[in-house]
Amino acid sequence: MAASDVVFRVKRYRPESGGRPTFQEYTIPYRNDMVVLDGLNYIKDHIDPTLTFRWSCRMGICGSCGADVNGQPRLTCGTYIRDVHKGAVTVEPLSNFPILKDLVVDFDDFLRKLASVTPYIVRKDWGDLTKEYVQYPEDVEAYRQQSLCINCMLCYAACPVFGSSPEFVGPAASALALRYNRDTRDEGADARLARLNTRTGVWECTFVGECSVVCPKDVDPAAAIQTLKFLATMRHMRRLLMPGSSSR
Amino acid sequence: MPMTGREYAWKRRPGWWLRNRRYLMFQLREAGGVVCALYGLVLLNMLVQLRAGESAYTAFLDLLRTPPVLYLNVVLFALVVWHALTWFMLIGKAQPIQFTRQPLPWKVVFGINVLLWLGVSGAVVYLIFGGI
Amino acid sequence: MERTSFDIVVVGGGAAGLRTAIAAAEADPELTIALVSKVYPMRSHTVSAEGGTAAVLRDYDSFELHALDTIKGSDFLADQDAVEFFVARCPEEIIRLEHWGCPWSRDEDGRVSQRAFGGMSVKRTVYAADKVGFHILHTLFQTSMKYDRIHRFDEYFVTSLIVDGGACAGVVAMNLRGGTMVAIQGKATILATGGCGRVYEFTTNGFIKTGDGMALAYRAGVPLKDMEMVQFHPTCLPGTGILITEAARGEGGYLVNKDGERYMQRYLPSKMELGPRDILSRAMIQEMKAGRAFEGPYGLYMGLDLRHLGAKKINERIPMVRELVEKYMGLDPIHELIPVRPGQHYIMGGVSTNGKGETTLPGLYAVGETACVSINGANRLGSNSLSECLVFGAACGLAAAGFAKKKASYPRGAAAREALKKEEARVFDGVLGRERAKETVAGLRVEMQQLMERDVGIFREESALADACGMLGKMRDRFAAVGLADKDRVFNTELTAVLELDFMLDVALAIAHSARNRRESRGAHSRTDFPQRDDANYLKHTLAFRTDGPPRIDYVPVTVTKWQPVERKY
């Protein structure tokens, strides 16, 4: 093994062979500017073509390439080997998800949760199709941060609550719900808060905060969830005092 | 027949919270919440003993002064303080109620809350020991 | 063996595919729509588009001007009736997306902002910081969740079209997660699978851009149009090929050579850094040849200078540029030059369609980068592509909906069953059964990519093109020996890589032969042996038809309405 080699320990799982996931080691040549994804591609192209993982854009915007690298959920395209090279680089599928094959996990559950928070503009009257709705720069800024979610699932992998309670709506879906609630063009806040003000909604969250730590886009879903707790509570109180009222 | 595979159900590793420092701090924070409740019970018991008479109350205070209980209190008090500090950190990190347009840096909110806490705590201590 | 039947089958879940599906869903609540994609829709490569999307929204602009800019940008190869249709519908698409929640950047008065862009006479590029593709894609994807009648087939890899009685009757697709093949029938099938950048070695494109839809139509007898028209974007990061958006220049960035000179004054003084992309890419190569480029570990490069823009403008208007450069180059564009060099980015060519997305095969449509209408001709202006996806996505969705409504009966099950059996045999028994030996998918793919990069790049000439055509033909034959180590059926990405290479070889052959046969220079197609534009012989679109040997090349005239071709001078 040359001095400039690096060892990758990758968790393998073959669905057609069954059994349990096991580690497999590969030694690959190393350049200082390689990211973990480059390593995985080297293995697949030159050593073991059976290694299976998702990737596409390689620039941290498509959200495909999430994996647990040395125990931390990261995007493999955005993680430099030099930053995680502690003797060996350990790559495993994202925690908290069922494993389909090798590093590929099943996150259909998230898409159902996303659909459940009504992730689109809701309005009674759509108005004139020849004119945009007026929205000032500070209004855009109000929901910009939550709109940056690339659905990479790192936050779900980091969340121990989701790990033990898989029905929890989760960080990303909550952040996107807040994104729409804060959008001045939307009128669907009431329905979203009703959905989130449930046991499977935001109340499962105990503010561990790891989701915001691992988020590659600084969406800060933890803050979004606490804000939603407050908004959901206010809505609940309003409805107790004035039945039939709804949030804007 | 087409071959289809099985998904492997993810299993949580025991000791998951020892895996990184933030999970460990979280668990300690939550443990601190339990300790807060414990302190509450201790205070309640103190009231019960007070009502039961001077000897019962004194006996209880003597119990609290014994070395094992004192050492235990050092640990438990540390957990409570950690719980309180992390509570204020969380307010800074979430800021669900904002008085400014954009969220303030969390350390500022944390600092303000800690100062308020110390102020209130100081006032309570004064009331207990200094009297009105 | 599953089988499913729909009114409309959309292949590809990017901007074009999603817009088409939504348009069809809105056209008629009775229609059932399948959205089949080899990746989850939010992973589609639309997501990486950065700069903006063009539309006439203000008084200082006009459809005439947008059309003229587009046609001139295309070096007069664009079909002018299609361009007129296109520019007139961009504004309503932008507004519609805005109504659906797209976070366009705003002026102080709350109206949608527009920025300058290459080849555009006025500021007409609507933007969302510098993540326009990300925001458009997520807005469309999340809006598509409104419609229950859009059934998604996520991670289904389409391996072939079903053709029955001379019409397209749907697709055969491999369910990656289940490891099975299914026939998804449709009265109308729409290909929206994007471009084919991965046939080149150095490209901004993501891994999934392998020309699948183009090859599928090509194999069903539909011609590919103007495949030689490949766009090389001037500002890509060396090494990774990651795109640095044209918006960086739109906001005032300069391109400099190693002497710190804004070299574009030698090539296009009237437009400088905001000239069309083909001119800029060629200028860069010429500067490199003249020895005025920087040298780095990944070869020669030029500098993109944003230092004079200031931190505030960079952080507000092009924050992702800063993030990407910091992360992948370790440099801060506020204080340092960004290394850039030209890279493959887009293909103007594609499946030949008319203005409604219809191909020569009844029941088969194509839209987006997959299609060639053509509105981009020999060179696309930046920010026209996303608008194209929206405008033609809407038009195609409507047209397909009308077609599906008129068609009384669903396709015959027999044709689907037969196609399914054939594909199962071809893919599972045939391809999957081949043993991995000397010829590997990665090895052959890299060879093809390096060949295309070298011989069918920015500057082309006869002997290199002839060599490329010959080598690609041989690679086509060598492909039969490519075997697999992964014998699983479930989520076999080695198998999908092999199938994608199969598609890419077909597409690469079409590109190389189309390029060889166009003996002129026009737009992005630049021949050192035929440096002049030749309207007398070549004011026409190239059509490539698949054969068992080299593609059959034919031509079809360009539609000229108002703008007579003149010399393309800026």
Nearest-CA distance C197 → chain A (Å):
12
Tokens of B59: 């006996």
The contact set of B with C (CB < 8 A) is: 2-5
Contacts of A108 in chain C (CB under 8 A): 154
Both tokens of A128, joined, read 């004139």
Mutation site, A61, A148, A178, interface C, largest C CB count within 10 A: A61
Q: Of the residues A105, A138, A169, which one is the last residue of a structural domain?
A: A105
With residue C507 as reference, give the H or E element that holds it: helix C493-517
Q: Which residues in chain A touch residue C110, judged by CB atoms under 8 angstroms apart?
A: 134-136, 139
Residue A27: inside a domain, yes or no? Answer: yes
Amino acid identity of residue A29, one-letter, is P
- Place A247 in a pLDDT band, splitting at 50, 70 and 90: low
Give the CATH number for residue A222: 1.10.1060.10
Give me the DSSP letters along C177-234: TTTEEEEEEEEEEEE-----GGGSSSBSS-TT-S-HHHHHHHHTTPPEESTT-EEEEE
Mean pLDDT of all residues in C203-220 = 98
Bridge partner residues of C11 (DSSP):
C36, C191
Chain A's closest residue to B106, CA to CA, is: A223
- As a whole number of angstroms, the distance between CA C287 and CA C299 comes to 14
CA pair distance C205, C346, nearest whole angstrom? 8
Q: Nearest residue of A to residue B2 by CA position?
A: A16
How far apart are alpha carbons C248 and A126 in whole angstroms? 34
> Under 8 Å CB-to-CB from A241, ≥6 apart: which residues?
none
The three-state secondary structure class of A220 is coil
Residue B66 CA to residue C227 CA, distance in Å, equals 88
Candidates 3.40.1160.10, 3.40.50.1100, 3.90.700.10, 3.40.640.10; CATH matching C236-342: 3.90.700.10
Contact map slice: C 403-432 vs A, CB within 8 A: none
Phi, psi of A41, deg, nearest 5: -65, -35
Least confident of A2-11, C8-17, C91-100, C303-312: A2-11
Q: How far is C529 from chain A (nearest CA, A)?
A: 36
Give yes or no for C46 touching A (CB within 8 A): no
SS3 (DSSP) at C281: helix
Question: Does any domain span residue A208?
Answer: yes
Chain B nearest CA to A98, separation (Å)? 5
* Same domain, yes or no: A99 and A113: no
Q: Which two tokens stand for residue C35?
A: 């959205």
Buried b (16+ CB within 10 A) or exposed e, B71-105: eeeeebeebbebbbbbbbbbbbbbbbeeeeeebee
Q: Could you tell me the pTM of the whole model?
A: 0.95
C484 contacts A49? CB cut-off 8 A: yes
- Could B12 and A18 be called an inter-chain contact, meaning their C-beta atoms sit closer than 8 Å? no
Q: How far apart are CA B32 and CA B76, in angstroms?
A: 7
Q: What angle do CA A48, A52, A54 make, to 5 degrees?
A: 135
Instruction: Give the relative orientation of helices A171-182 and A108-116 as an angle to the nearest 10 degrees.
Output: 30
Contact B4/C489, CB-based, under 8 Å? Answer: yes
Q: For residue A39, what are its two tokens?
A: 């390593």
Spatial contact of C434 and C483, defined as CB atoms under 8 Å apart: yes
Give per-residue pLDDT as tens, B57-98: 999 999 999 999 999 999 999 999 999 999 899 988 888 777
ipTM of predicted complex: 0.97
B15-27 CB burial, b ≥16 within 10 A, e <16: eebeeeeebebbe
Tens digits of per-residue pLDDT, C77-106? 999 999 999 999 999 999 999 999 999 999
Min Cα distance A97 → chain B (Å) is: 6
Q: In angstroms, rounded to a whole number, what is the distance separating the alpha carbons of residues C144 and C40? A: 13
Q: Is the separation of the CB atoms in A51 and A43 below 8 Å?
A: yes
In chain A, the number of structural domains is 2
Contacts of C427 in chain B (CB under 8 A): none
Decide if A187 touches C, using CB distance below 8 A.
no
Q: How many angstroms separate the CA atoms of B105 and C371, rounded? A: 49
Q: Choose the closest CB to C43 out of A64, A115, A131.
A: A64
Whether A142 has its CB under 8 Å from any CB of chain C: the answer is no
> How does the average pLDDT of chain A come out, rounded?
94
Instruction: With beta carbons less than 8 A apart as the criterion, state whether C387 and C259 touch.
Output: no
Minimal Cα distance from B3: which residue of A?
Answer: A16
As a whole number of angstroms, the distance between CA C250 and CA C68 comes to 19
- Whether the CB of C565 is below 8 Å from some CB of chain B: the reply is no
Mean pLDDT within C491-505: 98
Which among A105, A140, A163 is the end of a domain? Answer: A105
Task: Identify the CA nearest to C255 among candidates A193, C10, C268, C213.
Answer: C268
CA distance C564 to chain A (A): 32
Residues A122 and A206 in one domain: yes
Identify which of C199, C170, C224, C207 has the alpha carbon closest to the alpha carbon of residue C11.
C170
- For residue C367, give both structure tokens: 């839209």
> How many of the other CB atoms lie within 10 Å of CB of C319?
13
Q: Tell me: pLDDT of C316 over 50.
A: yes
Q: Is C240 close to A59, i.e. CB distance below 8 A?
A: yes
Residues B3, C1: C-beta atoms closer than 8 Å: no
A102-116, C158-172, C398-412, C483-497: segment of lowest average pLDDT = C398-412
| Alpha-carbon gap, residue C30 to C79, rounded angstroms | 34
Report C:147-166 residues touching A (Cβ under 8 A): 154
Alpha-carbon gap, residue C206 to C215, rounded angstroms = 18
Shared domain check, A154 and A130: yes
Q: Tell me the pLDDT band of A3, cut-offs 50, 70 and 90.
A: low
Structure confidence by residue, pLDDT tens digits, C269-294: 999 999 999 999 999 999 999 999 99
Please give the angle made by the CA atoms of C493, C497 and C500, to the nearest 5 degrees. Answer: 135
Residue in chain C lying closest to B7 (CA)? C177
Are residue A61 and residue A82 in the same domain, yes or no? yes
Residue C489 in 3-state DSSP? coil
Question: What is the predicted pLDDT for the residue at A86?
Answer: 83
| Partner-chain contact C490 B3, CB within 8 Å | yes
The pLDDT value recorded for residue C170 is 97
Model confidence at B131, pLDDT cuts 50, 70, 90, reads: low
With an 8 Å Cβ cutoff, are C180 and B2 in contact? yes
Q: What is the DSSP letter of B102?
A: S
Structure confidence at residue B14 as a pLDDT band (50, 70, 90): confident
**In angstroms, what CA-CA distances link C324 with A33, C126, C242?**
14, 22, 8
- How far apart (Å, rounded) are the C-alpha atoms in residues B48 and B40? 12
What is the C-alpha to C-alpha distance for residues A26 and A9, in angstroms, rounded to an integer?
7
Phi-psi region of C387 (alpha: psi -120 to 50; beta: other; left: phi over 0): alpha
Q: Which of B4, B16, B97 sits opposite A230 (nearest CB)?
A: B97
CA distance B12 to chain A (A): 7
What pLDDT digit, counting tens, does each position of C378-393 carry? 999 999 999 999 999 9
Domains located in chain B, CATH noted: 16-130 (1.20.1300.10)
Q: Which of C8, C17, C41, C44 is nearest to C366 (CA)?
A: C17
Give the closest residue to C496 by CA, choosing from C198, C247, C236: C198
In-domain check, residue A113: yes
Task: Please provide the DSSP assignment of C325-374 as one string.
Answer: HHHHH---TTTSPEEEEEEEEEES-EEE--TTSB-SSTTEEE-GGGEE-S
CA distance from start to end of chain B? 87
Same domain, A9 and A93: yes
Q: Is the peptide bond before C121 cis (omega within 30 degrees of 0)?
A: no
Share of chain C above pLDDT 70, in %: 99
**Nearest by CB to C48, which of A50, A62, A126?**
A62
Q: How far is B38 from chain A (nearest CA, A)?
A: 20
Domains in chain C: boundaries: 236-342, 418-527
C100 and chain A in contact, CB less than 8 A:
yes
Q: Above 90 in pLDDT, residue C483? A: yes
Structure tokens at B95: 């800021």
* Structure confidence at residue C469 (pLDDT): 98
Residue A22 has pLDDT above 90, yes or no: yes
Find out whether A51 and A27 touch, Cβ atoms under 8 Å. no
Q: Which domain holds residue A101?
A: 5-105
Residues A75 and A125 in one domain: no
A57 touches chain C (CB under 8 A): yes
Q: What sign results for the dihedral spanned by CA atoms C304, C306, C307, C311?
A: negative
For residue B8, the chain A residue with the least C-alpha distance is A99
Chain B nearest-CA distance from C262, in A, is: 40
Catalytic residues of C: 233, 249
Average the pLDDT over C136-149 and give the result: 97
Residue A2: the pLDDT is: 60
Report the amino acid identity of residue B13.
R
Are C118 and C274 a contacting pair, CB within 8 Å? yes
Give yes or no for C489 touching B (CB within 8 A).
Answer: yes
Instruction: Give the residue with greater pLDDT, A87 vs A58.
Output: A58
Neighbours of B126 (CB within 10 A): 11
Give yes or no for a contact between A89 and A36, defined as CB atoms under 8 angstroms apart: yes
Number of Cβ pairs < 8 A linking chain A and chain C: 158
Distance CA C370, CA C189 (A): 13
Region of A20 on the Ramachandran plot (φ > 0 left; ψ -120 to 50 alpha; else beta): beta
Q: Which residue in chain C has the smallest CA separation from A180?
A: C101
Cβ-Cβ contacts under 8 Å for B127 (sequence gap 6 or more):
none
Predicted confidence (pLDDT) per residue in C218-254, tens digit? 999 999 999 999 999 999 999 999 999 999 999 999 9
User: C321: part of which helix (H) or strand (E)?
Assistant: helix C319-329
DSSP state letter for C31? -
Q: Among A72, A105, A138, where does a domain finish?
A: A105
Contacting A with CB below 8 Å, chain B residues are 3-10, 12, 16-17, 19-20, 22-23, 26, 30, 90, 93-97, 101-103
A94 and A116 co-located in one domain: no
> Between chain A and chain B, how many beta carbons pairs sit less than 8 Å apart?
73
Separation of alpha carbons A67 and A216, rounded Å: 13
The domain that holds A19 is classified in CATH as 3.10.20.30
What's residue C1's pLDDT? 43
Are both A162 and A175 inside the same structural domain?
yes
pLDDT of residue B94: 85
Nearest CA among C43, C207, C436, C447 for reference residue A50:
C436
The vertex-C17 CA angle with C14 and C18, nearest 5°, equals 80
pLDDT of B2 over the 50 cut? no
pLDDT digits (tens, 9 = 90+) for A124-167: 999 888 899 999 999 999 999 999 999 999 999 999 999 999 99
Q: Are residues A168 and A184 in the same domain?
A: yes
**Are A138 and A197 found together in one domain?**
yes
| Nearest residue on chain B to C424, alpha-carbon basis | B2
C292 in contact with chain A, both atoms CB, cutoff 8 A: no
Q: Which pLDDT value is given to residue A176?
A: 98
Residue B1 is predicted with a pLDDT of: 34
Q: Which fold has domain C418-527?
A: Methane Monooxygenase Hydroxylase; Chain G, domain 1 (1.20.58)
pLDDT of residue C293: 97
Subunit contact C178:B4, Cβ cutoff 8 A: yes
Contacts of B7 in chain A (CB under 8 A): 15, 98-100, 106
Beta bridge partners of A8: A26, A89
Question: How many CB atoms are closer than 10 A to CB A239?
Answer: 16
Nearest Cα residue to B83 out of C154, A206, C296, C107 = A206
CA separation for the pair C225, C101 (Å, rounded): 35
Average pLDDT over chain C, rounded to whole? 96
> What value does the mean pLDDT take over residues C513-528?
97
